[in-house]
Amino acid sequence: VLSSYSFYWFQGAAWLGLNVFLFVYYFLLFDRDKKFYYTRVLLGSALAWARASAKCLNFNSMLILLPVCRNLLSFLRGTCSCCRRTMRKQLDHNLTFHKLVAYAIALFTAVHIIAHLCNFEWYNDSQQAADGSLSSILSDLHQDEESNKWLNPIHSNSTVSTPAYVTFTTIPGLTGVIITVALILMVTSSMEFIRRSYFEVFWYTHHLFIIYFAGLVIHGIAGLVRGQTAESLNKHNPEHCAQDPTHWGGNNKHSHCEEPEFGSIPAEVSPSSVVVHPSKVLELQMHKKGFSMEVGQYIFINSPSVSRLEWHPFTLTSAPEEDFFSVHIRAVGDWTENLIDTFQQQKPKTPRIEVDGPFGTASEDVFQYEVAMLVGAGIGVTPFASVLKSIWYKFQHADQRLKTKKIYFYWLCRDTGAFAWFNDLLASLEQEMEESGKASFLNYRLFLTGWDNSIAGQAAFNFDKDTDVVTGLKQKTSFGRPRWSNEFSAVATAHPRSVVGVFLCGPQALAKSLQKCCHQYSSLDPRKVKFYFNKENF
* Beta bridge pairs of residue 411: 376, 446
Contact 537, 503 (CB under 8 A): no
- Residue 85 pLDDT: 56
Residue 390's region, left for phi above 0, alpha for psi from -120 to 50, else beta, is alpha
Between 22 and 236, the higher pLDDT residue: 22
Neighbours of 496 (CB within 10 A): 10
Say yes or no to pLDDT of 112 above 90.
Answer: yes
531: helix, strand or coil: strand
- Residue 211 pLDDT: 92
- Residue 425 pLDDT: 66
CA 401 from centroid of its chain's CA atoms: 28
**DSSP strands (E only) in 218-280:** 227-228, 262-263, 267-269, 273-277
Contact 65, 87 (CB under 8 A): no
The lowest-confidence range among 199-208, 234-243, 397-406 is 397-406
The lowest-confidence range among 97-101, 203-207, 261-265 is 261-265
Between 327 and 128, the higher pLDDT residue: 327
Say yes or no to pLDDT of 239 above 90.
Answer: no
CA-to-CA distance for 77 and 336, rounded, in angstroms? 49
- pLDDT grade for 385, boundaries at 50, 70 and 90: confident
243: helix, strand or coil: coil
Say yes or no to pLDDT of 158 above 70.
Answer: no
Looking at residues 408-424, what average pLDDT do you find? Answer: 75
CA-to-CA distance for 24 and 49, rounded, in angstroms? 10
Looking at residues 94-100, what average pLDDT do you find? Answer: 85
Q: What own/partner pairs with CB < 8 Å and gap ≥ 24 does 164-168 have? A: 166/120, 166/123, 166/224, 167/120
Q: Where are the alpha helices (DSSP H) in 154-224?
A: 163-169, 171-188, 192-197, 199-206, 209-218
State pTM to two decimals: 0.57
The dihedral over CA atoms of 455, 460, 466, 469, expressed in degrees to the nearest 10, equals 0
Contact 326, 270 (CB under 8 A): no
Looking at residues 179-198, what average pLDDT do you find? Answer: 89
Furthest CA-CA distance within the chain? 89
- pLDDT grade for 183, boundaries at 50, 70 and 90: very high
The lowest-confidence range among 113-122, 133-142, 334-343, 491-500 is 133-142
Looking at residues 258-271, what average pLDDT do you find? Answer: 74
Q: What is the pLDDT of residues 309-338, one digit of tens each?
A: 788 888 888 888 888 888 888 887 888 888
- pLDDT grade for 114, boundaries at 50, 70 and 90: very high
**End-to-end Cα, the chain, rounded Å:** 44
CA-to-CA distance for 139 and 37, rounded, in angstroms? 14
The dihedral over CA atoms of 96, 102, 105, 106, expressed in degrees to the nearest 10, equals -120
Contact 68, 95 (CB under 8 A): yes
Rounded alpha-carbon distances, angstroms, from residue 439 to 422, 431, 434, 491: 19, 8, 5, 17
- Residue 58 pLDDT: 92
176: helix, strand or coil: helix
Looking at residues 330-347, what average pLDDT do you find? Answer: 82
- pLDDT grade for 533, boundaries at 50, 70 and 90: very high
Considering 287-291, 481-485, 524-528, the range whose residues carry the highest mean pLDDT is: 481-485
CA-to-CA distance for 389 and 424, rounded, in angstroms? 11
482: helix, strand or coil: coil
Looking at residues 165-190, what average pLDDT do you find? Answer: 87
Contacts of residue 458, Cβ cutoff 8 Å, sequence gap at least 6: 469
How many distinct helices (H) and strands (E) make up the chain?
A: 20, 15
* pLDDT > 70: percent of the chain: 80
Between 366 and 145, the higher pLDDT residue: 366
CA-to-CA distance for 302 and 329, rounded, in angstroms? 13
Between 364 and 118, the higher pLDDT residue: 118
Rounded alpha-carbon distances, angstroms, from residue 53 to 164, 187, 211: 22, 19, 20
- Residue 2 pLDDT: 47
Rounded alpha-carbon distances, angstroms, from residue 264 to 35, 39, 416: 11, 11, 41
Looking at residues 83-109, what average pLDDT do you find? Answer: 78
Q: What is the pLDDT of residues 33-88, one digit of tens each?
A: 888 999 999 898 999 999 999 999 999 999 898 888 877 767 766 665 555 555 55
Contact 343, 350 (CB under 8 A): yes
- Residue 86 pLDDT: 55
Considering 61-70, 256-265, 473-482, the range whose residues carry the highest mean pLDDT is: 61-70
Between 51 and 151, the higher pLDDT residue: 51
- pLDDT grade for 146, boundaries at 50, 70 and 90: low
Q: Is the dihedral of CA 372, 378, 383, 389 positive or negative?
A: positive
- Residue 452 pLDDT: 63
What residue type is 358 in one-letter code? P
Give the angle 244-250-255 at the CA atoms, nearest 5°.
45
- Residue 20 pLDDT: 95
CA-to-CA distance for 434 and 441, rounded, in angstroms? 10
- Residue 161 pLDDT: 58
The lowest-confidence range among 2-11, 188-197, 243-252, 445-454 is 2-11
- Residue 131 pLDDT: 76
> What b/e sequence results for 198-208 when a residue is b if at least 16 CB atoms lie within 10 Å of its CB, and e otherwise?
eeeebeebeeb
218: helix, strand or coil: helix
Looking at residues 425-438, what average pLDDT do you find? Answer: 72
Contacts of residue 381, Cβ cutoff 8 Å, sequence gap at least 6: 411, 421, 422, 505
* Beta bridge pairs of residue 502: 373, 533
Give the angle 233-237-243 at the CA atoms, nearest 5°.
145
- pLDDT grade for 104, boundaries at 50, 70 and 90: very high
CA-to-CA distance for 324 and 479, rounded, in angstroms? 35
Contact 435, 400 (CB under 8 A): no
CA-to-CA distance for 119 and 135, rounded, in angstroms? 13
Say yes or no to pLDDT of 184 above 90.
Answer: yes
* pLDDT > 90: percent of the chain: 20
CA-to-CA distance for 517 and 485, rounded, in angstroms? 7
**Best CA proximity match to 381, nearest among 412, 423, 427:** 412
Neighbours of 109 (CB within 10 A): 22
Q: What is the average pLDDT value for the chain, to the nearest integer? A: 80
The lowest-confidence range among 307-316, 458-467, 517-526 is 458-467
- Residue 26 pLDDT: 92
Looking at residues 271-288, what average pLDDT do you find? Answer: 80
- pLDDT grade for 1, boundaries at 50, 70 and 90: very low
* Beta bridge pairs of residue 359: 298
Q: At what angle do helices 171-188 and 199-206 cross, to 10 degrees?
A: 150
